[in-house]
Amino acid sequence: MEYRKLIKFGKNSFVISLPKSWIEKNHLKKSDLLYLAVESDQLVITPEPKTGMNEERELSVDVDRVVPGSLRRRLKSSYIDNYHVITFFGKTIPQQADHIREEVNDLMALEIVEQTPTKIVAKNYLNMNEISLSETLRKVDNILRYEFVILKNILTKKIEGTKEDVIKEAYRMDGDINRLMFLLLRTVKFLSNTAEISRGKNVINNEDLLRIWMLISVLEKIGDELKRLIKKLISAKQLVKEKDLLFIVDQIEDAFKQAMKSFYLKDVELAFKVSEDNKVRLKKLILDFLEKNTSNVFVASMRENFVNLYYNIVEIPRLQY
């Protein structure tokens, strides 16, 4: 660690000298711009961001050498890591083309621009400076809230259409959530490599980026459990304990809304209140209901779903403290 003396400069400013080694490492010269970011009691100085993250980054994947089942992971990883062009090549392209196309279609703004018997090229058309983290997060939130509405409509017998239509809609929403989640991860990764002052639509600091990164996983798990509950309820030959189940779903939905409110507002006191309320009242409510109905096969089949929903929802306010 190096020390620098603070020097008064004029009536309203102070200056410090910067280490020559740091200047040379970042290839800086006189009149270059530096960015200042205040983080708690620290002042972070960064050079003007280079264009590296905005330049087209390319990745080539030899499908003949990829272990079966890992192609999806490689594609998702390169998408999150902000690669713009991904080229799949190899002799087995004809056999894997349908799988590659299916996986590419699951990612936002990624399109196949070229295909031959030995090569498939996918290109991403996202302008990362135009992506808003808050707007994308709200879209995920809205889908999850609509899934709660579907659950309650099933329990109150207000569903329109066939069971197959409802299940298809649940899987469509799940696919939308997954696409938005990968977009969120890509955006957080992009912003983490960008100076705070140049983050376009996203007025956000590094601490908030970390909170959103952790929230993404939690919301995805909540979406998975809601999808499973929708499928189980709509597929049931006969609903039982509808009023009790409706009350439980109402309470879980309210806990989710309050948890998200504390996250959006960055309200630590509200987060503590929501966390304590969920830990005591909601947990007891769910567990008591499940214990009273242990002999009910229908209710017992949803035990894991309700418990997982609870544990993931209580994680949201904890991100505030």
Please count the CA atoms within 13 angstroms of the CA of 238 that sit on its side-chain side: 3
Q: What is the pLDDT of residue 238?
A: 77
Q: Confidence class of residue 224 from pLDDT cuts 50, 70 and 90?
A: very high
Q: Confidence class of residue 40 from pLDDT cuts 50, 70 and 90?
A: low
Q: What is the pLDDT of residue 188?
A: 93
pLDDT digits (tens, 9 = 90+) for 103-154: 999 999 999 999 999 999 999 999 888 899 999 999 999 999 999 999 999 9
Percent of the chain whose pLDDT exceeds 90: 56
Counted residue by residue, the chain has a size of 321
pTM of structure = 0.81
Q: Confidence class of residue 207 from pLDDT cuts 50, 70 and 90?
A: confident
List domains and CATH numbers for the chain. Answer: 7-47 (2.10.260), 58-124 (3.30.110), 129-318 (1.20.58.220)
Q: Has residue 162 got a pLDDT over 50?
A: yes
Q: Confidence class of residue 202 from pLDDT cuts 50, 70 and 90?
A: low
231: CB partners within 8 A, 6+ apart: 167, 170
Mean pLDDT of 57-85: 91
Mean pLDDT of 85-95: 95
For all residues of the chain together, what is the average pLDDT?
88
Q: Report long-range pairs for 90-95 (Cβ below 8 Å, ≥24 apart).
A: 90/62, 90/63, 90/64, 90/65, 90/118, 91/64, 91/118, 92/63, 92/64, 93/63, 93/117, 93/118, 93/119, 93/120
Q: Which residue reads 């990764």 in tokens?
A: 189
For residues 184-215, b (16+ Cβ closer than 10 Å) or e, as one string?
bbbbbbbbeebbbeebeebebbeebbebbeeb
Q: What is the pLDDT of residue 197?
A: 46
Which strand ranges, in their side-by-side order, compose the sheet holding 85-89? 58-62, 85-89, 119-124, 110-116
